[in-house]
Amino acid sequence: MILQAVIDIAEICARKGVEDIVLSPGSRCAPLTLAFARHPQLRVRTVPDERSAAFIGLGIAQQTGKPVVLVCTSGTAAYNYAPAVAEAFYQNIPLLVLTADRPPEWIDQLDGQTIRQANIYGGHVKRSFDFPVDTNHVDSQWYAARLLNEALNEAVAFPEGPVHVNIPLREPFYPEPDEEFAYSRDVKVIEEVPSGYGLPAQVWEQLKTELKQYRRVLVVAGQGRRDEALHDEIVRFCRATGAVFIADTISNQQVAGETINFHDVFLGAKHLHTTEALQADLLITFHKSLISKNLKLFLRKQQHLQHWHVQPAGMVADTFQSLTRIIRTTPQDFFAQVNQKEASLQVSPAFTNAWHELEMQGKSVLEGFQENSPFSEFQVCHQVLRSLPQNSLLHLANSMSVRYANLIGVAEKEGVEVFANRGTSGIDGSTSTAVGSALSTDKLVTLLTGDMAFLYDRNALWHNYLPQNLRIVVLNNHGGGIFRMIEGPRSQPELRPFFETDQRLTAQKTAEDMGLTYVRVTDAASLEAALSNFLNHLAGPQLLEVETSSPENFAVFEDYRKQVNSSIQL
């Protein structure tokens, strides 16, 4: 058939290990829709809102580690993918974005659903391809198949990320009733063998020799998945050398007694930022972004700091303005190699003890404050995070939810893994990402979100695939409460109407419309009573809404800040 090269896109995807397709209905994308929907090896879901569809795909890929294919029609539908594409780019999540398009001769001719779609995602994709509009010639068919292989190989090559293929299509889109619809048996498949990212022996010897000169070493983990083998190597390194290991909540590397987990608490005491006892001479980092602004500000103030970042390939950010060396290998390989010569580095015991002393103080201040504080978002987050069941997933919406969680930390239980859209840190797809995650695992998935983030992404639930293992906690302070926490906007008379976005809605109607059990609480006792059933794996999809006052939340948080500043001392 005329569109055989388009039909075979689905076959190539299946042969290269793709399993999940998220598409949004449309006419121009009909050949793609039929190709994927009729393929027996592919799991296809339909999500009407392209913005939600893309974040759901991101959540699926985040869990499975395999590329997810997104399919949409032409025009602004493609633009609605942009927030999730940007997030996937900075989180290194593989997506294959297929956008149907009008043929090139109709661009800018005032035809419906026709915009300039070539390179529509700009620098936020690893590569962008233009599918051939005519595929009758044998060379065009070879080119089309080769292009799809290149796109999929690029999506999964380190560092992984989104790849865009724009596919211009001419009518007719639909096969005739008697027309054969079949996938080619001999489609072209190009496999790429990944690199080992090894370093020469002389480079390792040089690094080990240089390590001997440092006496104050910090290891900082950015956002990443839990990796037991990597964690074991880092702990071995820190135990042997005395190096201090700092782990944000989204690093998924925290272990009580081994890692510094409450740095966001004690570094809230700004007088510590210039304390000599905490000053490092070598910083070793790996993985992606940090939540803790306190830690970032602290590290940016360090003088004469050497900063080594370990990453096999791709762009490296100079987040702390101190980057001096990029080490092109995997973090696990780096620490494993260094551990082969354990005695090469000895960190000052005074430096190590200072950090661990503050870790104990930070935990003590936080837990003591929570025991005596009035009901607020801060207390709610503490209670929820301490109640999460073992072997479950936690998703954090941006704004205050992720910040509360980084201060408090998750319960010290096995198997609680934490996720957040910290690539771009937007509120736009938090619920959709959690939904995609829940669709890809049997584990309980709990989303902690604010009212603005939840209301902004309600279409995350507008489809026919509501996961039974999904739990949503909505912190409803009826506005963007984070702006009351920030010194600039909170001192302006326009705070309430223009920054906090005063709104009176609740999540009840959305929960009822979409099929979630709805529970509303307004005090600590009702929250405690509700959590047991809410976190029961067999209870079905639920939404727990906790209503609080933004001014009262601010007052509690200000009291917390004052207690940190007055209590944390070294």
Question: How confident is residue 489, by pLDDT bands cut at 50, 70 and 90?
Answer: low
Residue 483 banded pLDDT, cuts 50, 70, 90: low
Peptide bond into 551 cis (omega under 30): no
Starting from the edge strand earliest in sequence, which strands make up the sheet with 306-310, in order? 244-247, 217-221, 282-286, 306-310, 323-327
Beta strands 393-396 and 306-310 are: unpaired
Give me the pLDDT at residue 524, please.
93
pLDDT score at 195: 80
Quick one: pLDDT at residue 223?
97
Percentage of residues in the chain having pLDDT higher than 90: 84
17: left (phi over 0), alpha (psi -120 to 50) or beta: left
Structure confidence at residue 475 (pLDDT) = 96
Cβ neighbours for 528, distance < 8 A, ≥ 6 positions apart = 383
Q: What is the pLDDT of residue 415?
A: 84
Distances (CA, A) of 84 to 37, 57, 93, 156, 427: 23, 9, 10, 17, 11
Residues 346-370 as b/e (b if ≥16 CB within 10 A, e otherwise) read: bbeeebbebbeebbebbbebbeebb
Average pLDDT across the chain, whole number: 93
pLDDT per residue as tens digits for the range 534-562? 999 999 999 999 999 988 998 999 999 99
The residues with which 520 forms a beta bridge, in sequence order, are 545
Per-residue confidence (pLDDT) for residue 175, from 0 to 100: 84
Spell 26-45 as b/e; 16+ CB within 10 A means b. bebbbbbbbbbeebeebebb
Inform me whether the pLDDT recorded for 271 exceeds 80.
yes
Could you write out the DSSP letters of every residue in 121-181?
TGGGSSEEEE--S---SHHHHHHHHHHHHHHHHHHHSSSP-EEEEEEE--S--S--TTS--
The pLDDT of residue 345: 83
- For 45-58, the pLDDT digits (tens) are 999 999 999 999 99
Query: Domains along the chain?
Result: 4-168 (3.40.50.970), 201-360 (3.40.50.1220), 373-567 (3.40.50.970)
Q: Is the pLDDT of residue 481 over 60?
A: no
Cα dihedral 493/494/496/501 (nearest 10): -170
Averaged pLDDT, 422-448? 96
Say which residue, 482 or 374, is predicted with more confidence.
374
Query: How large is the average pLDDT for residues 143-154?
Result: 98
Q: How would residue 499 be classed by pLDDT, with cut points 50, 70 and 90?
A: low
pLDDT at residue 179, as a whole number: 82
Q: Which of 24-38, 136-150, 482-496, 519-533 has the lowest mean pLDDT?
A: 482-496
Instruction: Tokens for 517, please give them.
Output: 């059990």
Which of 71-75, 181-185, 368-372, 476-480 is least confident?
Answer: 476-480
Is pLDDT larger for residue 493 or for residue 90? 90
Q: Flag whether pLDDT at 342 surpasses 70.
A: no
Look up residue 186 and give its amino acid: D
CA–CA gap between residue 561 and residue 267 (Å, rounded): 11
The pLDDT-based confidence of 490 (bands split at 50, 70, 90) is low
Stronger pLDDT, 177 or 133, i.e. the higher one: 133
Which of 206-210, 278-282, 348-352, 447-451 is predicted least confidently?
206-210
How far apart CA 478 and CA 461 sit, in angstroms, is 21
pLDDT at position 503, please?
Answer: 77
Nearest to 527 by CA among 480, 477, 453, 473: 473
What confidence tens digit (pLDDT) does each residue in 288-303 have?
Answer: 999 999 999 999 999 8
Q: Average pLDDT, stretch 469-478?
A: 96
Q: What is the mean pLDDT of residues 442-446?
A: 97
Q: Judge whether 264 and 406 are in contact, CB under 8 Å.
A: yes
In this structure, how many other beta carbons lie within 10 angstroms of the beta carbon of residue 123?
Answer: 9
Average of pLDDT values for 231-260?
A: 92
The whole-angstrom separation of Cα 421 and Cα 295 is 19
- Given pLDDT bands bounded at 50, 70 and 90, which one contains residue 174? confident
Q: Which two tokens stand for residue 278?
A: 């905490």
Element containing residue 555 per DSSP (H, E): helix 550-567
d(CA 482, CA 485): 5
Residue 388 gets which letter from DSSP? P
Q: What is the pLDDT of residue 501?
A: 73
Whole-number pLDDT of residue 378: 94
Q: What is the pLDDT of residue 550?
A: 86
Chain center to CA of 370: 28
The band of 162, judged by pLDDT with boundaries at 50, 70 and 90, is very high
Residue 498: predicted pLDDT: 59
With a CB cutoff of 8 Å and minimum separation 6, the contacts of 563 are 365, 369
Cβ neighbour number for residue 513 with a 10 Å cutoff: 11
Segment 494-512 shows an average pLDDT of 79
Q: Which two tokens stand for residue 379?
A: 């207390």
Q: Which residues contact 78 (CB under 8 A, 6 or more apart)?
A: 50, 72, 99, 101, 115, 117, 120, 166
Best-predicted range by mean pLDDT (42-46, 233-237, 239-243): 42-46
Residue with the larger pLDDT of the pair 500 and 28: 28
Which of 348-357, 385-394, 419-428, 478-487 shows the lowest per-residue confidence on average (mean pLDDT)? 478-487
- Predicted pLDDT at 257: 83
